[in-house]
């Protein structure tokens, strides 16, 4: 998902460079939740001034990856287990609603309708084969965005986007932990199974697969009643 616009008069390339660097370090786990992101250190490492770094951190805060603490600067966002479970629940509700609206699609157009979901999965595979963790995370989000877009509802897309942005850190962590403790390709397979279910064009099959998708499996969150 593209970062929000708003660089003003700052050189976009410098803002984008800083944004990508911090985002990569956060999503890869190099910067753990709660870790400080020090402006001066980032400026020195990237060889740029504080203005583009501050703008990058502002954009990352909008995406839910970092948070600003008054008089203490920025740190990697810390989500509670309850926050994560609530966000995943909201995501699943919207994805279920999207599938109920979208399926079944007319048989004459079904192949074209599912093409964006298929393309995102192909990008996940390609990034995984290259060892491109950030590219895989980006394709992963596009995969879920494409599922919701099947409904053809602009308002649903608008409602879904900020939830997915906030979830990008736990989603990336889940994929990373899955690759570490299980078969590295299991994350891809889970998404292949979900796509197969959606392409069956049977809403009950697709909803059952979505329910079993297992996005929380490797986060080891305690159940919250």
Query: The tokens of 81 are what?
Result: 């287990």
Which of 53, 76, 99 represents a domain boundary (last residue)? 76
How many structural domains comprise the chain? 2
Name the DSSP letter for residue 219: G
Q: Are residues 95 and 66 in the same domain?
A: no
Q: How many residues does the chain have?
A: 225
Does a structural domain hold residue 7? Answer: no
- Give me the sign of the Cα torsion angle 211, 138, 4, 30: positive
Q: Please name the helix (run of DSSP H) or strand (run of DSSP E) that holds residue 76, with its range, or none.
A: strand 73-76
Q: Are residues 206 and 96 in the same domain?
A: yes
Domain ranges, residue 41: 12-76
This prediction has a pTM of 0.85
Measure CA 217 to chain center: 16
- Residue partners of 108: CB distance under 8 A and separation at least 6: none
Q: Are residues 209 and 99 in the same domain?
A: yes
Q: Could you read off the pLDDT tens digit of each residue along the chain, which spans 225 residues?
A: 444 444 445 566 999 999 999 999 999 999 999 999 999 999 999 999 999 999 999 999 999 999 999 989 999 999 999 999 999 999 999 999 999 999 999 877 777 899 999 999 999 999 999 999 899 999 999 999 999 999 999 999 999 999 999 999 999 988 888 888 887 788 899 999 999 999 999 999 999 999 999 777 888 775 443
Q: CATH no. for residue 183?
A: 1.20.120.530
């Amino acid at each position: 998902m593209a970062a929000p616009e708003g660089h003003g008069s700052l050189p976009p390339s410098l803002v984008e460079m800083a944004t990508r660097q911090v985002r990569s370090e956060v999503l890869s786990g190099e910067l753990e939740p709660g870790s400080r992101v020090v402006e001066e250190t980032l400026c020195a490492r990237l060889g740029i001034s504080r203005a583009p770094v501050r703008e990058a951190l502002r954009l990352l805060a909008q995406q839910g990856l970092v948070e600003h603490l008054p008089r203490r600067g920025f740190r990697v966002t810390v989500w509670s287990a309850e926050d994560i479970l609530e966000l995943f629940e909201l995501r699943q509700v919207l994805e279920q609603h999207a599938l109920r609206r979208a399926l079944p699609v007319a048989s004459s157009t079904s192949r074209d309708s599912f093409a964006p979901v298929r393309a995102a999965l192909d990008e996940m595979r390609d990034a995984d084969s290259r060892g491109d963790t950030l590219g895989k995370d980006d394709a992963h989000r596009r995969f879920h965005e494409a599922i919701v877009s099947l409904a053809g509802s602009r308002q649903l897309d608008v409602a879904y986007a900020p939830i997915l942005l906030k979830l990008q850190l736990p989603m990336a962590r889940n994929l990373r932990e899955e690759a570490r403790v299980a078969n590295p390709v299991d994350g891809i397979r889970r998404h292949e199974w979900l796509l197969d279910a959606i392409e069956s064009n049977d809403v009950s099959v697709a909803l059952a697969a979505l329910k079993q998708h297992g996005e929380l499996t490797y986060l080891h969150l305690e159940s919250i009643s």
